Structures are given as structure tokens and as C-alpha cells.
Amino acid sequence: MAPYFRLVTSESIFEARSLSEKPRPFSELPSLASSNWSREHLFAARIIRCEAQNNLLPLYSQSLTSMEGQYAPEIVKFLEGPNMEHMGQSEHFLVQRYGHSLGQAWAALAAFKGPPSRRGVASSASGDNEAEPSSETRSEGDSEGLSRVKRVRRGTPEGFVNSSLIQVGSSSPADDHSHGTLESSVGYVDGGSDGSMPLEEETVRLVSCVFRHILYSTQSPGSMPLVVEFRDARMRYAALMPLIHRKVVAIDDGGLCMRQQMGGSFVLTKNQVAVLEAKRRFQLVEDGRPVISDECFAQMACEAITARLVDPLEELWHENVIIVNATQNYVCFLQFEITDAYLQQFDSESPSLFLHVHSTPWFDLSSRGGREHVLSNLCALIRWART
């Protein structure tokens, strides 16, 4: 069966597939944590993935200004990329060679692009899916809303696709200088063998290091009262569905937050500028191209819906949730349009409104084209968040 992300790209297709697959409403589905949401939940939530995949999300596409020729030296070095011969070097060497933040980014990239001798051997027992904490692992006083938690790992489930040696698009492994299209942004997926498969934490670290380098280098600390920062702490979102009063729980992998100068300190004003969802490898590949699986898409949908239901800082008044989906050295951006009207009836027996999702192609952080697109998305997102 075709994955939901690729298949359901219009309301007419949704209606046709609903007649065929006969999905159930939320009231008839089991109450599950976000990591266990499935294709049925995507149908219950009436999600439409907009077919066009542009390099910028529509929410902030108009916020990008031309920066060509105005990049700080640190950004120029980031776009140039590392000498691939240095991917076997130590983090200490890379920091000395490229500077603190960029050296750490290249050291994190080496977890995926470095030689096997540098990457070491990771246990194949560590799975990609994450279970929500059980009652035994949560503190007794944990209340609904946002709190910091640690995810519990599970073994690798059957059906996972090893992304080793998968050709994506038309580019070869050596093609590292392409621009603009899906084929050029993601040229080659090298996941390694099961024994050397990187852990999810290495994906999170790479995104953290790259995003931090961009955030440090594109925001002048002394000239603005607002600053966007990377949030390391995983956040737990818990809420009740408005009509059936069923509890939904989701946990992210970090994200972007914003602080505003008030008096002598910078106060947290937004905690969900963007939410990170990281995976250790692609779960689904079709015709040599990675596709977001039903399980991953449903998990992100649950995170977005729950974030809108909770919204403790009342920052999502624009009715959109931005999620950064990262797998190894590949990144894409998704925009979930969740209106107030949708939230009031999505769990009813006969909902009528849809949840539309925009997405970018995958961007490869080991290629210049991929880094350019990630930079553009972050710069536009920062500018939009500060307005």
C-alpha cells in the first residue's frame, strides 16, 4: 500500500481512499502515545499533504531577504563545507581547524560521512521508534502540559528499511555541488550496515550543531531584543481531545525557542518556534527515494495537534506548527496548518475540516546545495518568528 505522505495529496483523494480503507473516527481508535499513532490516525485527523514541495515553507517564504554576498565569514565557511579528507579526524582537530561551533558541526557530520573506523560500531539492538515513558519511568507528580522527560528505547521493529547504498534521485555519491532540486539536494543516502548504524542521538547532535552555528552567525547579539536559540530539552506535551476527552501525549526531540530581553535578562517567550523530530534511519524508501512513513508522519501529526491543544505560552496564534524532520544528515521542514475551527471538531464522529501539511524536499547537510536550503529556511524562520 502506498504511503499516506505520498498518496493523500488532495481532498478528493482523501475521500476516495476513505471509501476504500474505511477509517474509524478517534472515538473508535485506541488511546495511544504519539510514537504509536498509525495510518488510521492520519485518516481520523483528515490530513492532506499538499503536493507541491517548495524549498521554503509558505508560512515564512516571504520573510527571506536576499543575503547573497552579505554572508558573515562563518556562514561562508559553513556553505563551503569541510574537506572530506578531514572526516576521519578528531573533534579536537576539527574545532582547531574550523572554529568552535563549525568544528563541532563537522565532527557531528563525521558520524555519518566519516570512515567506518572513525564511526565505530553501534549496537544494532537500538531501535528507531521511541516509546513514550511508562508510568514506571515518569515521576508521580508529572502533570498535563509540558515537562522534561527521557524517552524509553525499544528494539528495532520489523519492516525497517536499511538505507545503505540507496540511490536517491539522479545524483551519484560524488555529486556534492548541486543546487535547487530534490535530486540535487539529496544525492545519495548512505546508512551503513546494521552493525554501524548511527544512533538517533547522533542525528539530534548534528542538527543541534548545524542550527546553532547558523543561529550564532546570523543574529547580532548586541542589536536585537529578540533572539532565537536551539532548545536541547525534550518537551512532553499532554492534552485532552476537546470532545471525547481522551488524553494525547507527545514528546519532541528538542527544537527552536525565542527569548526576549526584559530588564537584565532574556526571558523565554516562545518554546515552539520549531519542533524537532529525529530518526536514526529512513523507515521507507520507494524507487530509491526516501518517503516519510505512515508511522513517522502520524507521530509528527500527533505532536503538532497536541502542541496546538496545549500551547502554554499562547504562541501558536498563527495556527501553524513547524516541525523539522531529520534523519542522519538529511533534513526537511514541515508546516502543519491547524486552525482553531479544526481543533474544535477534529475528534467528533463526523468531522468536516482538514489539516493541511506543507513540506520541503529532503536537504543533505553534506552537500552545498542542501546546506544552502537549510540556511535559507532558518534565516526566513528566524526573521518571521521575530516579527
Share of the chain above pLDDT 70, in %: 78
The 3-state DSSP class for residue 75 equals: helix
Cell triple for residue 166?
540507496
pLDDT in tens, 185-221: 555 454 444 445 678 999 999 999 999 999 999 998 7
Between 230 and 152, where is the model more confident? 230
- pLDDT at position 168 is 42
**Which residue, among 85, 103, 102, has the nearest Cα to 94 in the 3D structure?**
103
Distance in angstroms (rounded) separating the CA atoms of residues 290 and 375: 22
- pLDDT at position 170 is 32
**Residue carrying C-alpha cell 536585537:** 224
CA within 13 Å, CB half, 95 = 8
Q: How many CB atoms within 10 Å of residue 73?
A: 9
Residue 239 · residue 205 · CB < 8 Å: no
The 3-state DSSP class for residue 7 equals: helix
320 DSSP β-pair partners: 337
Would you give the distance in Å from CA 70 to the centre of its chain?
28
Between 387 and 196, where is the model more confident? 387
First to last CA, the chain: 43
Share of the chain above pLDDT 90, in %: 69
Distance in angstroms (rounded) separating the CA atoms of residues 53 and 202: 27
**CA 380, 359, 149 angle in degrees (round to 5)?**
85
Q: How many CB atoms within 10 Å of residue 1?
A: 8
Distance in angstroms (rounded) separating the CA atoms of residues 306 and 287: 33
Q: Residue 70: which pLDDT band, with cuts at 50, 70 and 90? A: confident
Residue 201 · residue 223 · CB < 8 Å: no
Residue 160 scores a pLDDT above 90:
no
Sign of CA dihedral 225, 226, 230, 233: positive
DSSP codes, 207-251: HHHHHHHHHHHHS-TTS-SEEEEEE-S-EEEEEE-TTT--EEEEE
Highest mean pLDDT among 69-73, 188-192, 263-267, 301-305: 301-305
Burial of 297: CB neighbours in 10 Å, binned 0-12, 13-18, 19+: buried
Q: Identify the helix (H) or strand (E) that includes residue 327.
A: strand 320-327
pLDDT in tens, 309-366: 999 899 999 999 999 999 999 999 999 999 999 999 999 999 999 999 999 999 999 9
Would you give the distance in Å from CA 368 to the centre of its chain?
20
**Residue carrying C-alpha cell 474509524:** 24
Residue 250 · residue 321 · CB < 8 Å: no
